[in-house]
Structures are given as C-alpha cells and as structure tokens.
Structure 1
Amino acid sequence: MVTEEDVLTVLKEVSDPEIGLNVVDLGLVYGIDIEEDGKVFVRLTLTAPGCPLHETISRAAEMAIETLDGVKEAHVEVVWDPPWTPDLISDEGRRLLGL
C-alpha cells in the first residue's frame, strides 16, 4: 500500500513555476488521505488565492501521485484555510531559495 511518505516524495517533483520550488518544501501540502481502494486525496494550498496556475499545479500533483504503484486515482483539493505564509517553507526550501 502507498504511504504518505511515498506521496510526499512524488509531490516534491511538482513545483510552483513562479517561485521555482516544489509544493512540499513550499509548505503547500496541508493533508494527505490514502484509502485502501487506491484512492489518494490531497489538500493543498497556493501562495496566493488568485494564482493563475491553480489548475496546472493541481493536475500536475494528481498526475505525479498516479504514477505510484497501488494508486488508482488521485484527487487534489485546493484549500485556502489556513492561509499560506512564508513561515510554512521548510528548512530545505529556505536553503534552496537562499533565505
């Protein structure tokens, strides 16, 4: 069965093109639910509510998750609560951004 760590690993391949950092290290992933039937549900946010790349990032995340063995479907829900802040960027993300 696929694990949360597996999902996070493939989500590190999905970047916010405006910032150039993956959604995991940006702190955009708010939750992962994995069902026994192979469905994966991810809640993520974006850096700004009006982000024009909303659908592009969501679909890229779903496609990345669906490459995992055992995943039959992936669904990404974009949420806005709590609002994203730069405080959510991981230590690795800060390093990569030179912060």
Structure 2
Amino acid sequence: MTDSPYPYEGPDELREPILAALRRVVDPEVAMSIVDVGLVYGVTVTPACVQVLMTMTSAACPVADVIVDDACTELDRAVPPGRRIAVELVWEPAWTTDRMSDRAKAFMGW
C-alpha cells in the first residue's frame, strides 16, 4: 500500500491491521474515525513497540483521554502479543481541516 493516510514505518504485514484498528477509533465529537478526521500523524512499529503519534483538533479537546484509550485498546487487539502500545499526543504541526479525508469533508458538507 503506497497511499497511506499517514506515514508508516514497520512490517508490511502489520500495516493493514493497524490501519483497520485505528479506523475503528471514533472521535465522539464528530462521530468519525480518527483516521478520516486526520488525527493520526504517523505510526512506527518495531519488534518491541507500536508507536502512534496523533493530535486532537484542539488542545482543549474534552475527549482526548477517551480517544487515546480507545486507540490503545484497538491496537492491542490488532498486533501480535508482546509489543508495547504507545500513543503519544503531539501538537506540532497543529491540526487543520486540510488533514481530513475527502470522506470526512463530504460528511461535514465541505
């Protein structure tokens, strides 16, 4: 897969399961996948860890903890046992609506 919605580094066999797991995580404020909203900035997989860099639409997001917990849960179900799951919130670069998928923009009526 060359057209990834976010940068991915790791084994090809985990690319799709991780993407599917992250697509199951919903931002409850907009009722859309965090992938479609553009909150996932990148994924790096090593033999020891799955690291996800993500952001929120706002630093004041009241559901950030819920989204991070859901991402950890879904990733834990998707990757082989023994890998640590690390979801890190980052604020640079700042999220913009340009990060949203065409599907998300259509859903929002943009």
User: Counterpart of 2:58?
Assistant: 48
User: By percentage of residues, which structure has more helix?
Assistant: 2
- Which residue identity does 1:13 align to in structure 2? R
Would you say 1:32 and 2:43 are equivalent positions? yes
**How many Å separate the matches in 2 of 1:7 and 1:96?**
24
Which ranges of structure 1 fall in alignment gaps of 5 or more residues?
none
Once structures 1 and 2 are overlaid, which stretch shifts more, 28-37 or 69-78? 69-78
Which ranges of structure 2 fall in alignment gaps of 5 or more residues?
1-10
Deviations 1:57-90 (A, max 9, x none): 1010010000014143211000000000011101
**How many Å separate the matches in 1 of 2:101 and 2:109?**
12
Where 1:66 maps in the other structure, the secondary structure is: helix
User: Counterpart of 1:21?
Assistant: 32
Superposition RMSD in Å: 1.5
**Runs of 4+ displaced beyond 4 Å:** none
Would you say 1:85 and 2:96 are equivalent positions? yes
Percent sequence identity over aligned pairs: 34
Where 2:51 maps in the other structure, the secondary structure is: strand
TM-score normalised per structure 1: 0.89
- Count how many residue pairs are aligned between Structure 1 and Structure 2: 98
Q: Please show how residues 40-79 of structure 1 align to structure 2 within 5 Å.
A: 40-71=50-81, 72-79=83-90
TM-score normalised per structure 2: 0.81
Q: Answer whether contact 2:14 2:79 (CA < 8 A) is retained.
A: no
